Amino acid sequence: MNLLDGLYKRSAHLVTSAVVAIVFVAGFALGNQHAAGAQSPLVAPAGVEEDFEPFWQVYNLIQDNYVDPEGDQLDQQKLIDGAIQGMIESLGDQFSGYMDPETFPMISQELEGEIQGIGVVIRTLPETNAVEIVSVMVGSPAEEAGILAGDIFAAVDGEDVSAMSQIELAQNVRGPEGSTVNLTMLRGDALVDFVVERARIVIPMIESEVLDDDIGYVRLNQFGPDARADINAAIDAMNPDELDGFIFDLRGNPGGLLSAAIEVGSAFVPDGTILVEDFGNGREQVIGANGTYLGLDMPVVVLVDEASASASELVAGAMQDHDSATIIGETTFGKGTVQSWQPLVNGGGIRLTVARWLTPDRNWIHHNGITPDYIVEWNPTSVEEATDPAQDAQLQAALGFLVDGTLPPAEFVQQDVDTVAGS
């Protein structure tokens, strides 16, 4: 079997309540992105003038009395950015954030598959709010510099980042191709310094091939705008009528566009609900399959792990509720909210949580994740193990299930379930 090498080196274990993001590779693919609505009015709503009087009072006091009137701190754009940042942070929502005019154009490219950065996947540790590296892209600047999964960001260009959010950290780490960034990482009890030259990184959105025993295999790394077209092309190239089984690998996939998730889900669900959006004001929207079912006449397995998030969970949940596939792997990340990207008139933008999403059976998987039909743990301890298909317990479980109905050795299988966690 000549399975394509995995795109990412896996960490030993992920915490499902952590925030996973390809922040230095593909912006903030934290999960589903909902198409932004019309630009908000540029005038203050009626009746808020008195509420905003303290804001203007502080602004004028700074302008008139701050001790260093020529300092960078009085740059008007910085003051405005700080005010917007504070307003978004006051929501206490880890998936909402503000990108300033310099950062937003870079971040908004995340789903185009070509990014300037250092090439790591990160998460926020729930116990400390420190930002830890989950995995490092093969051949990336981070790998070449010697950065490892498990390293924790301590400083960027000499600035302490222990109190920074993921978005703030990304704004400091990402930058133009060829420029360098100085990183100090906490590795165990030691601080280790790195100089990393940023690069233009092309992210393969999809990997595919036909495995032994005529099993089709497609790995989707992100739900970009071309995800469905790429899946269609990959399956067509396999001569699907000659396949005896199909594996759809969503491991490590952090999500992406909501529209792409609906399109991909519709490829495997013939009809019925794909998701339900709950907008929090009593309004719901039931979104069904769009009638583009591929009609794969074979057993299908979906592989997931603890880094499968948001759009990945949406698709896996829809396929599980409709009995369109058998889910194998680990309980998924647990992100059940929808965000919109909204450009601002200053050239910046915000990412704002606008809805919750529910599976077709109306389960909200937030903080719970999708529980596979068969839980199979796999915690590789080396790069060699992580990229060797023969040692991939989850892949081997899927192959065994599709070829002869067997499951892996008992020590791998934790339990059998047929419901979504938290239902």
**Domain locations in the chain as residue ranges:** 114-202, 206-416
At 41 the pLDDT is: 66
Per-residue pLDDT, 32: 45
pLDDT at 139: 83
Greater pLDDT, 413 or 402: 402
Please check the confidence at residue 96 and state whether its pLDDT lies above 50: yes
Q: Give the model's pLDDT for residue 29.
A: 39
Q: What is the pLDDT of residue 27?
A: 29
Tell me the β-bridge partners of 85. none
pLDDT value of residue 15? 26
Token representation of residue 76? 């008007």
Candidates 351, 306, 309, 308; CA nearest to 93 is 351
- Which one of 208, 259, 310, 324 is the catalytic residue? 310
Amino acid in position 40: S
- d(Cα 202, Cα 257) in Å, to the nearest integer? 18
E strands within 105-168? 114-117, 120-124, 131-136, 152-156, 159-160
- The top-level CATH class assigned to 114-202 is mainly beta
Give the pair of three-digit tokens for residue 368: 């719970």
Tell whether the model's pLDDT for residue 112 goes beyond 80.
no
* Beta pairing partners, 343: 349
Nearest to 20 by CA among 103, 117, 111, 134: 134
Question: CB of 260 within 8 A of CB of 224?
Answer: yes
Report the run of H or E that residue 193 belongs to, with start and end. Answer: strand 190-197
Task: Give the pLDDT confidence score for residue 3 in this predicted structure.
Answer: 39
Give tens-digit pLDDT for 235-279.
Answer: 999 999 999 999 999 998 888 889 999 999 999 999 999 999 999
Q: Which position among 266, 335, 340, 392 bears the catalytic label?
A: 335
Work out the mean pLDDT of the chain and round it to a whole number: 83
- Please report which confidence band the pLDDT of residue 71 belongs to, taking 50, 70 and 90 as the band edges: low
Give the model's confidence band at 102: pLDDT under 50 very low, under 70 low, under 90 confident, else very high: confident
Tell me if residue 90 is catalytic: no
| pLDDT at residue 26, rounded to an integer | 31
Instruction: Return the pLDDT at 129.
Output: 85
Identify the DSSP state of 300.
E
The residue annotated as part of the active site, out of 81, 151, 230, 321, is 321
Active site residue 335: yes
pTM score, whole prediction:
0.78
Active site residue 321: yes
3-class DSSP assignment, residue 400: helix
Could you tell me which residue, 5 or 245, shows the higher pLDDT?
245
Residue 6 is predicted with a pLDDT of: 36
Fold of 206-416: 2-enoyl-CoA Hydratase; Chain A, domain 1 (3.90.226)
Q: Are 194 and 179 spatial neighbours (Cβ–Cβ below 8 Å)?
A: no
Of 16 and 84, the one with more pLDDT: 84
Q: Does 113 score more than 90 pLDDT?
A: no
Using a 10 angstrom Cβ sphere, with 0-12 exposed, 13-18 middle and 19 or more buried, the burial of residue 61 is: exposed
Strand order, beta sheet including 245-249? 206-211, 215-220, 245-249, 300-304, 326-329, 374-376, 413-416
Mean pLDDT on 46-56: 92
pLDDT attached to residue 236: 97
Residue 14 has pLDDT above 80, yes or no: no
Confidence check: pLDDT of 66 > 60: yes
> Which pLDDT value is given to residue 372?
96
Percent of the chain with pLDDT over 70: 82
Give the closest residue to 154 by CA, choosing from 131, 174, 122.
Answer: 131
**409 pLDDT band (50/70/90 cuts)?**
low
Tell me what pLDDT residue 70 has: 73
